[in-house]
């Protein structure tokens, strides 16, 4: 997300960038968030001769290509499953697959666009917010930039979609929350201290029933990221330590991508949730499930080991009563301690993977 590439790619036409002062939307010295209203030539993000590396820094770029089977594991069954996973992802991020199907040539979604806009450093209030957090880090004093609590609005408008009278949620994106907060060191020496946390929330606007069929698939997204405070920069791109992005669609359920950039794990995990139609055909791998479309599917890509592992569960709660606790010792059943359910797909151990294959190495993971 280097600014030289982003600025050329987005081709922003800043119709209005309001709220740089403190009187427009309730911002204050303790929360500098204020209104931002931008018009873009398009929401589409693509590589161009002027910005050839734009898509390398989008959310799913490494995962999308990284799940490709390799060597003796590049069987027709594994390749077809990787393809099915990518096509499912396309529904949420507005991706146009490349000719080989292993990468994409375009994405169109509110999260990738916001990430790139922030990194460009051309929006005064976003820059003010990051500088404010950077200053608080220098002072070792907690600080927050939050549009919701400041009563500030963020609206992005696609000029091309507006000119061609596209559906409301194709031409206008409104973000309910953009939040940065700095948590300084405390006496407890918590691993969550000395971090910067960022939240981005988008929800599609309501439309009349007659217009619903024209709206894009994405209904909402909620994304969070954690950054090292000592390495946090007020400009350019900040690489997170951990990140998560949760997408909900109109017709395909939801997906969540969890990313780990620190330590030895170096992995991305995709969760496929409540899709109406089966995403993965496990029968092609010789796996027979009681439910053809399980409600929890976990597709884990370990970059260090170059391996994909797929786990499933159905009708399993995320937590269960602690087997070592005696329910009779508690007045209410709700008070009985709980523990993670080992049969829930999120918690399953490595030996419970339904499908495993080796992948192509992913160099220079972003």
High-pLDDT (> 70) share of the chain, % = 90
> What's the average model confidence in pLDDT over 209-218?
88
Separation CA 352–CA 354 (nearest Å): 6
Separation in Å, CA 161 to CA 164, 168, 297: 5, 9, 35
The span from the CA of 92 to the CA of 88, in Å, is 8
- For 164-196, write each residue's pLDDT tens digit: 999 999 999 999 999 999 999 876 666 678 999
The answer to whether residue 54 scores a pLDDT higher than 90 is no
CB 349 within 8 A of CB 342: yes
Mean pLDDT, residues 322-332 taken together = 88
pLDDT confidence tier of residue 112, bands split at 50, 70 and 90:
very high
- In the chain, what are the domain boundaries? 58-140+175-358
Q: What is the percent of the chain with per-residue pLDDT over 90, rounded to a whole number?
A: 72
In this predicted structure, what is the pLDDT of residue 13?
Answer: 32
pLDDT at residue 156, as a whole number = 97
Pick the more confident residue, 296 or 333: 296
Out of 2-6, 233-237, 315-319, 357-361, which region has the weakest mean confidence (pLDDT)?
2-6
> What mean pLDDT is predicted for residues 194-209?
94
- Give 303's pLDDT tier (boundaries 50, 70, 90): very high
pLDDT (average), residues 43-48: 91
Contact 97, 105 (CB under 8 A): yes
Q: Band of the pLDDT at 29, cuts 50, 70, 90?
A: low
Residue 353 has pLDDT above 60, yes or no: yes
For residues 58-65, average pLDDT: 95
pLDDT band at 124 (very low <50, low <70, confident <90, very high): very high
* Residues linked to residue 154 through DSSP beta bridges, in sequence order: 36, 175
pLDDT value, residue 223? 97
Q: What is the rounded average pLDDT of the residues 130-153?
A: 95
CA-nearest of 9, 238, 1, 13 to 123 is 13
Confidence check: pLDDT of 263 > 80 = no
Q: How much is the mean pLDDT over the chain?
A: 88
Two tokens at 218?
């994405």
What pLDDT shows up at residue 331?
85
Q: What pTM did the predictor assign? A: 0.88
Q: Is a pLDDT exceeding 60 seen at residue 312? A: yes
Q: What are the backbone dihedrals phi and psi of residue 321, each rounded to the nearest 5 degrees, phi first?
A: -60, 140
Residue 224: pLDDT band with limits 50, 70, 90: very high
Mean pLDDT within 15-37 = 59
Q: What mean pLDDT do residues 242-251 have? A: 96
- Other beta carbons less than 10 A from residue 105's beta carbon: 12
pLDDT at res. 280: 95
Nearest to 287 by CA among 309, 317, 319: 309
Categorize the per-residue pLDDT at 318 as very low, low, confident or very high, splitting at 50, 70 and 90.
very high
pLDDT above 90 (res 334)? no
């Amino acid at each position: 997300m280097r600014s030289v590439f982003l600025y050329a790619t987005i081709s922003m036409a800043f119709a209005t960038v309001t709220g740089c002062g403190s009187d427009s939307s309730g911002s204050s010295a303790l929360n500098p968030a204020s209104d931002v209203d931008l018009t873009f030539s398009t929401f589409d993000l693509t590589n161009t001769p002027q910005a050839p590396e734009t898509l390398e820094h989008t959310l799913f770029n490494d995962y999308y290509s990284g799940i490709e089977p390799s060597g003796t594991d590049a069987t027709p069954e594994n390749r077809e499953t990787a393809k099915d996973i990518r096509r499912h992802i396309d529904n949420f991020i507005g991706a146009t697959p490349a000719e080989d199907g292993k990468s994409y040539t375009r994405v169109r979604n509110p999260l990738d666009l916001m990430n790139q806009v922030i990194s460009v450093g051309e929006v005064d209030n976003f820059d003010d917010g990051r500088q404010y957090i950077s200053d608080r880090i220098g002072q070792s004093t907690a600080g927050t930039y939050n549009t919701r609590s400041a009563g500030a609005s963020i609206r992005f408008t696609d000029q091309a979609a507006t000119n061609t009278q596209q559906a409301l949620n194709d031409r206008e994106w409104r973000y309910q929350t953009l939040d940065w907060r700095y948590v300084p060191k405390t006496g407890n020496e918590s691993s969550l201290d000395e971090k910067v946390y960022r939240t981005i929330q988008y929800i599609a606007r309501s439309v009349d029933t007659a217009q619903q069929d024209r709206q894009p698939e994405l209904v909402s997204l909620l994304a969070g990221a954690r950054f090292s405070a000592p390495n946090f920069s007020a400009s350019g791109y900040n690489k997170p330590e951990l990140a998560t992005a949760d997408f909900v669609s109109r017709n395909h359920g939801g997906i969540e991508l969890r990313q780990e950039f620190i330590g030895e794990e170096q992995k991305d995990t995709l969760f496929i949730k409540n899709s109406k139609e089966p995403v993965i055909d496990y029968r092609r791998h010789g796996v027979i499930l009681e439910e053809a479309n399980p409600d929890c599917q976990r597709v884990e890509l370990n970059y260090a080991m170059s391996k994909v592992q797929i786990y499933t569960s159905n009708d399993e709660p995320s937590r269960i009563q602690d087997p070592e606790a005696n329910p009779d010792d508690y007045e209410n059943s709700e008070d009985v301690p709980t523990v993670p359910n080992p049969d829930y797909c999120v918690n399953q151990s490595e030996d419970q993977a339904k499908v495993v294959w080796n992948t192509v190495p992913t160099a220079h993971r972003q």
